[in-house]
Chains A and B, each alone.
Chain A
C-alpha cells in the first residue's frame, strides 16, 4: 500500500474528480482533488477497509500570492489558495510499521469569481470527520475560505468582530481595534 497505489485506486474510482498528483515532491507527495469530489473522496478514504484514514490530522490553507509585483512575475504560479488535508490512519500501517498517511489538496482561486472580498468556497468535510468542524472554523477564521455545508462556520481564534483573515498574504493588521492600537 503506497501513495502510488492509492493514487491509482482513486483515479480508477473517481476519474475526473482526481485532478492530479505530485508523487515525487520533496517531502510529502500529494494528490489533488477537485472541490466537487472532495467529500466523496474523503468518505471513501475514511470508510474503505483497505485505507481507513480515520484520523484527519490537519486542514491548512496555503496562500500563493505575492504582494510585490516584481517577485510575483518570477513566482512561477498564478495566485491561488491550496486547501491541504493531512489524513492518517490508526488502523492501517505501512509494511515496515510506520505511519500511513496521505495529503489531499484542493486548489481554489483566492477570491470567488475573482471579485476581491468574495471568499472562495470549498465543501466541508465535517460530515466525514467531526474534527473537521473546528479545523475548518480555524481555517475560515485565519485564511478566509468558506466551507459550504459546515454546521456552524464562525470565527474560532480571532474575536467575532475581527475583520480580515490574517494568514492571507495581503492581510493588513488593522490600525485600531476597540481602542487598542494595532500597529
Chain B
C-alpha cells in the first residue's frame, strides 16, 4: 500500500482532522494555481495566436522576446486599478458575482483526474459533478448582470442564462455516450479504458462517437461563452455584456473563470473522447512498462500522462482561440436554433446510434482489434467493479498485453497493483486521497 499524505502527516504527530484539512488544501492550492496560471498562459497565448492570425506580432516586450510576462504585467495593472462599484449596483451581489463564477470554474477542476490517481477528489460520479458545477458558473454571470444595474449587463446576463441552460441539454447528451460505453461515471475509469494505442480512444469507438465529439466541442464552446457564441459579452452589441461595469481585479476573476472553464471543457473532451492521459502511442504503458512499474518510474509515467492531458487540452483551447478570431458572432436566435434544432437532435441521434451499436455490433470497432491496438473494455470495467482487492485495487496492465488478451475478471480481481489508488465505485474510501510520491 502506498503511504498517503494523511498517513505521513499523522505519523509526524499531527492530529487526524488537521491532517485531513492539510490533505484537502494541497490539491486546492495546486488546482487554483492550475486555473490561475492556466489563465495567465492562455491569455498570453490568445494574444500571440490572435496576433499571428491577424498579421501582427502580439506582445513582444514584457519579459523578453515573446512577451512572456505580458499577462503578469496586465495582472499587476488590474490589481492596481481602482475597484469601482457603480452607484446603481447592488453592491453585495456585484462584489460576490466574480467569485461565484470563478469558484464554479475552479471547483469543477477538483473532480478532474490528471492521471490515474491524480485528482483532487476521486469521485465515482465525476462526470456528473463536473457538468453540474460547470453549470453553476452561469450564476456568477447572471448575478453580475443583474447586480450591475446596467441595461447592457442585464442583456448579457439574460442571454447567458438562456444560452447556457439550453446548451446544457446537448452537452449532457454528448457526455452520456462515453459514460454508457464505459459503464461508469468515474472519469479515471473512463480515461483508463482508453489505454493503449489511439485506436482505443472513444472518439474512434464507432461512427457515432466520432460524430458526437464535434457536437460536444460545439456545445462546449457555447457553454463557456466563446466566439461565435460569446453573446453574453458581445462587444459590438452589448458593449461588454455582463462585465461592462467591472474593472480591475473583479473583472480579471471573470477572465480567469472564462479561461479556466475553457481549459476544463477541453480537458473533459480529452478525457471522454481523446484518450485522456494516454498518448496516441503507449510509450510509457506498453513500450517502457513504467506505468505499472510503481515507484519513481510509475510516478514519471503519471507525470507524462498529466503533461499529455494538459497538452491535448491546450490544443483544444488553441482551437477555440482560432475559431474566435476567425468567425463572426451568431445572433441570439441563431444560437438557440443551433442548439435546439441541430445540436440536440444530432446528439440524440448519436446517442441512439451509439446505443444500437453497443447492443448489436459491439465488436466492429477499432477497440476490438487484437491487443495492443484494441482492448476489451468489458473486462476492464468488470475488473473495476468486481475486484475484491479492496479500495486500492485496480486493473493490471496484464489484461492489456497480448498474452492475456481475454482475461477473466475473477482472476484479475485478485491482482492488485500497489501504485494505483482508485476507489471503487460506491466505496467508502476517504475522498480526495492523494498519493505521495
Contact present between A and B (CB < 8 A): no
Q: Which A residues have a C-beta under 8 Å from some C-beta of B?
A: none
Q: Which residues of B contact A (CB under 8 A)?
A: none
